[in-house]
Amino acid sequence: MCGLIGYVGRRADRNVQEVLLDGLSSLEYRGYDSAGMAVSNSSLAVYKREGDLSALEGALPDEPLDGVAGIGHTRWSTHGSPSDANAHPHTDCTGRVAVAHNGIIDNYRALRESLETDGHEFDSETDTEVIPHLIESALERGDDAETAFRWAIDRLEGSYAVAATYAGHETVYAARNRSPLVVGIDDDGYFLASDVPAFLEYTDAVTYLDDGHVASIRPSGVEITDERGACVDVSVETVEWEPEDAGKSGYEHYTLKEIHEQPRAIRNCLRGRPQELTGDVSIDALEDVERPDRIQFVACGTSYHASLYGARLFRERSVPATAFLASEYDADAVPVDDGTLVVGVTQSGETADTLRALRDANRAGATTLAVTNVVGSSAPRETDHAMYIRAGPEIGVAATKTFVTQQVALAMLSSGLTGERSREVVAALRDLPDRIQSVLDESRARTIASEYAAADAYFVIGRGYSAPVALEGALKMKEITYKHAEGFPAGELKHGPLALVTERTPVFAVISRDSNAETMLGNVNEVASRGAPVIAVTDASEAVAADVDHVLRIPETHRRFTPILANVQLQLVSYWMANQLDRSIDKPRNLAKSVTVE
């Protein structure tokens, strides 16, 4: 959730302060409420401020901080409210050690009480501050810098990615446990970050730390060791993203750019997988995966909505499939055996609840599969198999192109694992990018958003394959407009939600040209008769126009993929409504891009 950046280097044209600020700026999308940095020279220079990165920049001296090693951090509050004191990095009593940390230290209260008994004084309410004081204790008894760092890390319980630097040292020490850390390798410097975009403009050569690894990053190179201090051989990978992929490319917001990138993202997701001549789907990484007896999806938020869609696809192919909220998944309470495939759907590959569910499934004997966007993240490294959605970097906190590519990936997964051969389905998959482009080119979403931006609340309804997209459409509206919105399977309206319908609650109805169309029109009439304005998102505009106030048209496609097109219209409505309401669209309040705590 928080953002972490570290840098060690001696290049004359690349000072540490500049690199840290660039990295923190690239990590703003993760969500934060304060920011800070520490640069090591003969002493430590530590600056941190509540608020946006601009507040930190305003607090820095006119001359760049002098040093070879430094760490920076953007904080998303868990322990203690946003404040200068609670911002990272945190230091020890002597000011010799600075630490930045992502995650949660579960045993911090006991550690803090013990340290206070020993005379340590704390300046913040955070769990993180125990770490520099632990390091200080080890240094006072004579441990060297690396030994002190290891001793402190060994006493932590919980999830963490930790970076530390010391006064008078040219080293950044780092360790992780259930929280992401990636090392960037350049000819003239070395980087550490919670996510690749933090240093992508400098290098695309990376290596990923595993739980229990300790990295010592010096001007002379990077050394990675295990829990016992033994050197670990790690592979260096090349990130396929380009620096411009993480830019706005002239769009007002990353979110709008990423909505418009969906045709390209789908083409990347499809590349080499659907076979037009045979009508089957081939996924190289899953060639040895047999048709499972049952499938359990585990996911959170937007990824859970994609999982609901995926589960329905499998059930249609006669494979029992259920989608679970990862935070509620219990492998001991549901049937799990070697015939069970548990699929973790996670954009970042670092979602804490989803990782915990996958680990439980592994222990229960299931085969596990990660469907994710990030190569080298924790989910694909901890599961038996991985399928990448290939959406490219997504900077906006609210998922857009990653949701669409998750849907497409799960559609291919259902065909591939069940042995389905359908030229009709493959042709529809191939046509999806062009169909979405037509929605983007012709949408009236901006006009609809303007007309209904002042409404009290919004409902989104759908049936069948469209029900998960109704949930997602409402979630997008909540995330970026801050307006109340609810998504329902349309049949559930009469079982309670209809009591909330008034003339000030517009209803967005996803109506596809399938067997549910007539029933959906009945649901539309239920809300219309209570005075609610109805906006149909539909491929059957002629049939429904007389029953609704407005129509957002989508092209005809295979019935499985109609909801994917409808989702794009709902994304655009949410975006333009948030734009009219002057919301912080790319960084919605209280939200973070990657949720790495349970």
- pLDDT tens-digit readout, 420-474: 999 999 999 999 999 999 999 999 999 999 999 999 999 999 999 999 999 999 9
Phi–psi pair at 76, nearest 5 degrees = -115, 115
- The CATH number linked to 264 is 3.40.50.10490
Return the closest-CA partner of residue 508 out of 559, 460, 445: 460
Q: How many domains does the chain have?
A: 3
**pLDDT category of residue 92 using cuts at 50, 70 and 90:** very high
Q: List the CATH number of the domain containing 150.
A: 3.60.20.10
Position 244 confidence tier, pLDDT thresholds 50, 70, 90: low
Residue whose pair of structure tokens reads 């992508």 in the numeric block: 200
Q: Give the type of residue at 223.
A: E
CA distance 356 to 353: 5
Q: Which of 435, 460, 492 is the last residue of a domain?
A: 435
Mean pLDDT of 31-54: 91
Residue 587: C-alpha distances to residues 4, 116, 139, 348, 482 (Å): 17, 37, 40, 16, 12
Sign of CA dihedral 321, 327, 328, 331: positive
| pLDDT of 79 | 78
**Active site residue: 2, 48, 478, 587, which one?**
2
Do 136 and 186 have their domain in common?
yes
Instruction: For residue 561, give its domain range.
Output: 443-598
What is the rounded average pLDDT for all residues in the chain? 91
Considering the domain architecture, whether residues 237 and 263 belong to the same structural domain is answered as no
pLDDT of residue 38: 97
**Top-confidence residue, 30 or 279:** 279
pLDDT tens digit sequence for 185-213: 998 889 999 888 889 889 989 998 988 89
Answer whether residue 356 shows pLDDT above 80. yes
Share of the chain above pLDDT 70, in %: 97
Domain shared by 205 and 327, yes or no = no
At 111-124, the pLDDT tens digits run 999 999 999 999 99
Residue where one domain finishes, among candidates 176, 211, 244: 244
pLDDT for 42: 86
Per cent of the chain over pLDDT 90 is 69
Q: How many other CB atoms are there within 10 angstroms of residue 313's CB atom?
A: 22
Beta bridge partners of residue 98, listed in sequence order = 91, 165
Torsion angles phi and psi, residue 224, rounded to 5: -115, 130
Domain ends where: 435, 454, 482?
435
Tokens 């309804």 correspond to 461
Beta bridge partners of 322: 296
Furthest C-alpha separation in the chain? 82
Q: Are residues 179 and 314 in the same domain?
A: no
Task: Return the H-helix or E-strand segment holding 525.
Answer: helix 517-528
Helix or strand or coil: residue 127?
coil
Residues 196 and 263 in one domain: no
Is there a catalytic annotation at residue 257?
no
257, 401, 476, 593: which one is catalytic?
Answer: 593
Average pLDDT over residues 102-114: 93
Is 246 a residue whose pLDDT tops 80? Answer: no
* Helix H or strand E segment including 510: strand 507-511
Mean predicted confidence (pLDDT) in 30-44: 89
**Model confidence at 547, in pLDDT bands (50, 70, 90)?**
confident
Given CA atoms 15, 201, 28, 77 in this order, what sign does their dihedral have? negative
Q: Are 426 and 449 in a shared domain?
A: no
Structure tokens at 13: 């044209």
Asked whether residue 153 falls in the same domain as residue 89, the answer is yes
Is the torsion defined by CA of 340, 345, 350, 351 positive or negative? Answer: negative
- Helices 108-117 and 130-140 pack at an angle, to 10 degrees, of 40
Q: Output the CA angle 570-249-393, nearest 5 degrees.
A: 70
Higher pLDDT, 248 or 214: 214
* Angle CA 479–389–158, to nearest 5: 65
The length of the chain is 598
- List, for residues 492-503, the tens digit of each pLDDT value: 888 888 888 888
> What CA–CA distance (Å, rounded) separates 471 from 518?
21
What pLDDT was estimated at residue 497?
Answer: 84
507 and 365 together in one domain? no
460 and 418 share one domain: no
CA distance 174 to 215: 5
Does one domain contain both 255 and 370?
Answer: yes
284 shares its domain with 199: no
Would residue 593 show up in a list of annotated catalytic residues for this protein? Answer: yes
pLDDT confidence tier of residue 592, bands split at 50, 70 and 90: low
Q: Which phi and psi (to 5°) does residue 20 adopt? A: -65, -40
Q: Among 274, 545, 578, 539, which residue's Cα sits nearest to residue 429? A: 274
Give residue-wise pLDDT tens across range 143-181. 999 999 999 999 999 888 999 999 999 999 999 988 889
Same domain flag for 207 and 117? yes
